[in-house]
Amino acid sequence: MPVEKEHNSNILLVDDEPNALRVLSAILGEASYNVFQADGVDKAIEIISAENIDAVITDLKMPGKDGLFLFSHLKANHPDVPVIFLTAFGSVDSAVTAMTEGAFFYFIKPPDYVKLKAILSKAVEQRKLKNEIANLRSQLESTYRFSSIIGKSPGMDNVFRMVENIKDSSSNVLILGETGTGKELLARAIHYTSHRHYRPFIAVNCAAVPRELLEAEFFGYERGAFTGAVSKRVGKFEEASTGTLFLDEIGELELSLQAKILRAIQEKEIERIGGSKRIKIDIRLVASTNRDLAKEVKLKNFRADLYYRLNVVQIKLPPLRDRKSDIPLLVTHFIDKFAQRENKHVTSVSPEVMKIFLNYRWPGNLRELENAIERAVVLTKRETIGTRDISAEIRKEARHDGSHIAALKPLKELQLETVIEAVNAFNGNKSKAAKALGITRKALYSKLKQAGGKLVSSKAE
């Protein structure tokens, strides 16, 4: 049974000698550890399976299954749990071998208990740090994983299917889309759903870095390469090696730098500024632009050879005005995000606000919608966001944008149009359409009854 203390670290002691267990348990209990005891390996494995153990202190030599057997079990099933060995003088060689295979430390019996507590504290702290890093990585991957991108419109469904097909390829990807459509979010989704997800994702905004610094940013430099280069610097290509390099707004690069990037892509190696050593790189290159690169090639503003290198797989993100059926989903997502951040009970927008959002053209795309929701959540004093919480500019432009429309369509009618569009997009396959819309087949059939005869001929269900 554990000795319950305020300390939240659980330590498992394993020894076939009852007196050794009692002494060490008492010492660690005084140091505010929760101490579990096992008189053999089988009991230890049982405890480890049931409890969140932060560190194991085990005798090396025990009858039957020994400490090395337990160590092998932990390496295979709980590799994050540090193991400290206690051993007699004659078994030091075995303990040293275990250290080379990943054991945290070993002590010759009887141990120096002051030093043992210090080493144990480091072991526990190291495990907690590793767990925190793993949790942060998991949160990061969850934030940017493929399924976290909001959208069920046919246009976004095409994007999702494309990403699913190419995520594990090594081919270069070119993402096209207007400013604010979520190009970097998509690039991160490609990375964090690929087999490179545990490797670096390095992003460079080519439009934000001063032109005179871009070469150093990309390729790094050696100490003394130029005035002010007081130490060596690793560039983004080298930093991203084994992972993904995302070059945002690549259409902004000048021609001379385009040539150097092309060479790095072709040869899969770079040279730091001021250096002569050629450094091998292994990267998945994803680039994005809001420009028409094919047109820029014709105008001689962008190298044709680089364009063809980048444009192996092309993904075009639709602007928000072309995926308005996604707006209710996006609004709900952004409200949840900012209400949680602001610790406010805001749950929805009024029908009038939704009409404004559906009628507005959103020149700033997702980024503009997100900013509008953030502002509204911060300003509102109600559970439901009203028109007064929306900027006057958006309200005015929404009315102006809708002036060519005879009447603003009700939300119900827009929903019906979305259902029809989805079924048509899948050539009448209602199962696929329902899945893309995130609704059941039963709900889809209910909508279709209201839609009348506006559908294409049904195919396979």
| DSSP letters for 94-131 | HHHHHHHTT--EEEESSP-HHHHHHHHHHHHHHHHHHH
Model confidence at 134, pLDDT cuts 50, 70, 90, reads low
pLDDT exceeds cutoff 90 at 120 = yes
Q: What is the pLDDT of residue 127?
A: 87
Q: Does 459 reside within a domain?
A: no
* Residues 254, 255, 257, 259, Cα dihedral to 10°: 160
CA proximity to 378, closest of 340, 347, 342, 335: 342
Q: Establish how many alpha carbons lie within 13 A of residue 213's alpha carbon, considering only the half-sphere containing its beta carbon.
A: 12
Say whether both 164 and 285 belong to one domain.
Answer: yes
Say whether both 170 and 307 belong to one domain.
Answer: yes
Say whether both 255 and 397 belong to one domain.
Answer: no
Say whether both 361 and 292 belong to one domain.
Answer: no
Q: Does 248 reside within a domain?
A: yes
Model confidence at 320, pLDDT cuts 50, 70, 90, reads very high
CA 446 to CA 461: how far, in whole Å?
16
Say whether both 358 and 446 belong to one domain.
Answer: no
Say whether both 308 and 325 belong to one domain.
Answer: no
The three-point CA angle 349-350-353 to 5° equals 80
CATH number reported for the structural domain that contains residue 175 in this entry:
3.40.50.300
Say whether both 359 and 313 belong to one domain.
Answer: no
Q: What is the pLDDT of residue 12?
A: 95
Q: Is 151 helix (H, G, I), strand (E, B) or coil?
A: coil
Number of domains in the chain: 4
Say whether both 416 and 371 belong to one domain.
Answer: no
Q: Does 300 reside within a domain?
A: yes
Predicted confidence (pLDDT) per residue in 381-407, tens digit: 999 999 999 999 999 988 866 544 434
Percentage of the chain beyond pLDDT 90 is 53
Cβ proximity of 240 and 283 under 8 Å: yes
DSSP designation for 325: G
Say whether both 71 and 193 belong to one domain.
Answer: no
Predicted confidence (pLDDT) per residue in 240-282, tens digit: 999 999 999 999 999 999 999 999 999 999 999 998 899 999 9
Q: Does 25 reside within a domain?
A: yes
Q: Does 336 reside within a domain?
A: yes
Which of 166-175, 340-349, 366-375, 421-430 has the least mean pLDDT? 421-430
| Last residue within a domain, chosen from 137, 166, 188 | 137
DSSP structure string for 203-269:
EEETTTS-HHHHHHHHHEE-TTSSTT--S-EE-HHHHTTTSEEEEETGGGS-HHHHHHHHHHHHHTE
Predicted confidence (pLDDT) per residue in 396-448, tens digit: 988 866 544 434 455 566 677 777 877 777 777 888 777 777 778 887 787 77
DSSP designation for 64: S
CA 398 to CA 358: how far, in whole Å?
8
pLDDT exceeds cutoff 70 at 461 = no
DSSP structure string for 299-323:
TTSS-HHHHHHHTTEEEEPPPGGG-
CATH number reported for the structural domain that contains residue 122 in this entry:
3.40.50.2300
Threshold 0.75, pTM exceeds: no
CATH number reported for the structural domain that contains residue 353 in this entry:
1.10.8.60
| Last residue within a domain, chosen from 115, 137, 159 | 137
CA 389 to CA 375: how far, in whole Å?
8
Say whether both 232 and 205 belong to one domain.
Answer: yes
End-to-end CA distance of the chain: 59
| Last residue within a domain, chosen from 318, 353, 383 | 318
pLDDT exceeds cutoff 70 at 2 = no
Please state, rounded to an integer, the average pLDDT across all residues of the chain. 85
Amino acid (one-letter) located at 39: D
More confident residue, 162 or 149: 162
Q: Does 174 reside within a domain?
A: yes
- Segment 120-132 shows an average pLDDT of 86
- Segment 151-178 shows an average pLDDT of 90
Beta bridge partners of 348: 384
pLDDT exceeds cutoff 60 at 194 = yes
CATH number reported for the structural domain that contains residue 432 in this entry:
1.10.10
Amino acid (one-letter) located at 221: Y
Say whether both 375 and 424 belong to one domain.
Answer: no
- Segment 325-340 shows an average pLDDT of 90
10 Å CB burial of residue 101 (0-12, 13-18, 19+) is: exposed
Q: What is the pLDDT of residue 456?
A: 46
Say whether both 199 and 251 belong to one domain.
Answer: yes
Q: Does 40 reside within a domain?
A: yes
Q: Does 262 reside within a domain?
A: yes
CA proximity to 57, closest of 95, 89, 7: 95
Look up the domain containing 386 and give its range: 321-404
- Segment 48-61 shows an average pLDDT of 92
